[in-house]
Chain A
Amino acid sequence: MITTKQQAVNLSESLQKIQDKIYKNKRVTALFESELDEDSYNFFKEINNIKNIEDLTKKDITQAIQKTLEQIKNTPVITLEVSFEPSVEFTNVLFEKIKVDYKINHFLDFIVNKDEFSGAKIEYKGKIFEDQLVKF
């Protein structure tokens, strides 16, 4: 599952690499498998509703890459400033909650500030919401 801004940035960079190599490489599946991790690959297929990448032409794949890059670019980022290192489990729970319960398409971006905060500061589309600030 792609949940964070950093994962989305990594995916964008990998897709750019694939796009540069796609006309030189014959086995498209191998190229995707070598460049993307399982979550990123599934995300790419899900966004473009692809079942088998081998069925697509190179032009189709290029279009799918462009669509994915565009989608990543246009997906808003919810930045959370927290005082702890968020675990993968917590990130997934929070991501699913905002996506499923609030129906908001987004990526999470965590800023860890152990010295200053105990609680959270949320930034979304330039506005900030903060609460429960506890200073040690």
Chain B
Amino acid sequence: MTQTLPVLLIFLNIVISVFLVVLFINLKRYEKHVSSFYNKEGKKTIEEAKKQAEKIVQNTQIFTDDLKSEIQQTIKQSVQQIKTSVDDFYKTVTDEQNNKLKEALVEISDYYKQSSIALQDEIKKTTIAKQKETEDIINTKMQQTIAEIESYKKDKLSNFDKQVQKFMEKELKSALPGYVDIEDQEKMVLEIVEKAQKQGFFTVWSQQNNKQ
């Protein structure tokens, strides 16, 4: 048993070596085959990629030209739009300013017109008030003067009347023995009242009234 084991080991070593050699040869052959396939397919792929790239580059060029043109057009339109907007804005601002200026002028004109009317009215009112005041003062003074004259006239006439009356009474007294002047009549009335009082005329009626 111990003599066969090294032989078996050698044999197994030989078999494994042969197997490894065969495997190495086959790997080399496969590698060559793969390399050839990839060389062939790779070229094809590269060509396709190149074509595709050229196409992309071409398309990109077309796209770039179109974009350039479009951008230029857009810029042109934008510039035109901005110009129009600026023109419109300028026109609007100018119109607004003109309108505001017109309004302001109308407002100022109205204000001065109103102020002028108010001033005229005030002057008119003041003038009327002053006229009325003056008229009132004159009227009051006139009324006072008329009243004073009337009072003076009345006093004078009254005195004159009294003098005439006295004169007339004196003359009448001497001409008519039965004539009684006002002074005497007043005395007479006072005497009659005293007489009535003495006779209980007022007292009686006052007491009767109180009892009632």
Q: Which residues of A contact B (CB under 8 A)?
A: 76, 78, 80, 82-84, 86, 90, 93-94, 97-98, 101-102, 104, 118-120, 122, 124-125, 127, 129-132, 134, 136
Contacts and interface: CB of A to CB of B under 8 A. Distances in A.
13 contacts: A84-B186, A90-B189, A93-B190, A94-B193, A102-B197, A118-B180, A119-B189, A119-B192, A120-B193, A122-B193, A125-B205, A134-B178, A136-B178
A98 B189 contact: no
B14 interface: no
Given A80-B189, A124-B201, A127-B205, 16 more contacts: A80-B193, A101-B197, A102-B197, A102-B202, A104-B202, A118-B185, A118-B188, A119-B185, A122-B193, A122-B201, A125-B209, A130-B192, A132-B188, A132-B191, A134-B178, A136-B179
Contact of A120 (B189, B197, B203, B208): B189
B46 interface: no
B201 A127 contact: yes
A97 B177 CA distance: 30
Q: Which of A84, A94, A98 has the most CB of B within 10 A?
A: A84
B182 interface: yes
B182 A122 contact: no
B180 A134 contact: yes
Nearest to B206: A104
B196 A129 contact: yes
Contacts, number: 65
Interface in B163-212: 178-180, 182, 185-186, 188-193, 195-197, 199, 201-203, 205-206, 208-209
A86 B203 CA distance: 25
Contacts of B192: 119-120, 122, 129-132
B177 to A, nearest CB: 12
Contacts of B186: 84, 86, 90
B190 A124 contact: no
The size bracket of the interface on B is 20 to 34
Chain B binding surface, main DSSP class: helix
Contacts of A119: 185, 188-189, 192
A124 B200 CA distance: 12
Contacts of A82: 185, 189
A25 to B, nearest CB: 24
Nearest to B185: A84
Nearest to B197: A102
Contacts of A124: 201-202, 205
Contacts of A90: 186, 189
B185 A102 contact: no
A84 B193 contact: no
B205 A83 contact: no
B195 to A, nearest CB: 6
Contacts of A125: 205, 208-209
A76 B209 CA distance: 10
A25 B50 CA distance: 118
A98 B205 CA distance: 14
